[in-house]
Amino acid sequence: MDFLKRKKNIIALVLIAVVSICNVAWMYQNGTSAKYEIASKYEFLNPAAMLVDKHDSIVNFQSLRESLQKKYETRDDFLISLYFEYLPTGSNVSINKDEEIWPASLIKIPVAMAAMKKVSDGKWKLSNELVILDEDKDSDFGTMYQLPTGTTMTVETLLKKSLVDSDNTAHFVLLRNLDGGEIEDVYVHLGLDDIIDVIKKTPQGAEVDNRMTAKRYSVFFRSLYNATFLDFEHSQFFMNILKEAPKEYVSLGIPDSVKFVHKTGIRTGDNVRADAGIVYIPNRPYLLTVMLQKKNHIPVEDGEVEKIFEEMSKEIYEYVAQAE
């Protein structure tokens, strides 16, 4: 009797589970069909608009724009290039939109994207190992240069070291194992062909002038967010790595509970500090790239960059979070 009773209970539970799944599938199918029907009805409107609640469809950032311009457009101490984009509607704010600044370690992003593309295309596996050569070692940033020549690391570990720890040696290992065309594909896809032209015209051994505006740099994160270069799976994997980046600069003005996927950059010789990424306020994500360069070759003092980043980031965060 106990056996029969247990059997009946199991059958009942299975039936409940099946019915629940069917209900969810029906709701999803009908909800999706309804959305397609609406999109079909309003053929001249953005089909993605139906996914955004009207309360979150913010387009007016004029007071934020004016405030940021007043505080950061003209300063005696720092040159600041800033680009903000509210992703649900595309509304944006640019400060010193034509000022080009060294992106510093932010340039590790396109190289890592090219490496991840090889993984998504099946040419590499994340578990494949690459060897560290003497020519890869760079002591300017990171600790991997201390490892013995011939040490091997997986592609996944190298990506994490390059993106999270900003390790130059990891970056150069990945770079050496990519051909020029694979990196060029990233830039061409994003409409940055002119940077490729500059690279090709730069004499061998000379430093490439890859300075750019905050707005232009932001296309890397927009591509990752929309999965235009990498597929959905590998864009998500890439962003999950960046989610572990140290909380500094822009992070200082964002509550710890809010997810921030980003990459920072430092170019000590030119007194540059940069941070770019996406802040994930629930239903109100925004992209923010900020590049700061100290003027007149004056060294950056402890805390002054952090103060600017914190105040700027906090103002932007509060505006987006509290907008009606």
Phi, psi of 57 (to 5 degrees): -85, 70
Same structural domain, 84 and 162: yes
Domain CATH code at residue 302 = 3.40.710.10
One domain, residues 24 and 109:
no
What is the C-alpha separation between 262 and 286, in angstroms, rounded?
A: 12
Tell me: do 251 and 296 sit in the same domain: yes
Q: Clarify whether residues 120 and 151 are in a common domain.
A: yes
Q: Are 41 and 70 found together in one domain?
A: no
| Host domain of residue 17 | 2-51
Q: What is the pTM of this model?
A: 0.86
Torsion angle of alpha carbons 135, 139, 145, 146, nearest 10°?
140
Task: Average the pLDDT over each of 2-6, 70-74, 306-310 and give the range with the smallest value.
Answer: 2-6
Using DSSP, how many helices (H) and how many strands (E) does the chain show? 11, 7
Q: Are residues 136 and 206 in the same domain?
A: yes
Please state, as a whole number, how many other Cβ atoms lie within 10 Å of the Cβ of residue 18.
10
Same-domain check for residues 29 and 67 = no
Question: 193-216, pLDDT tens digit by residue?
Answer: 888 888 888 887 788 888 999 999
**In this predicted structure, what is the pLDDT of residue 255?**
97
Same domain, 174 and 25: no
Co-location of 208 and 287 in the same domain: yes
What value does the mean pLDDT take over residues 256-267?
96
Domain count, the chain: 2
If asked whether residues 46 and 71 sit together in one domain, one would say no
Judge residue 50's burial from the number of C-beta atoms within 10 Å of its C-beta, 0-12 exposed, 13-18 middle, 19 or more buried. middle
Residues 292 and 311 in one domain: yes
Same domain, 6 and 117: no
Note the pLDDT of residue 24.
43
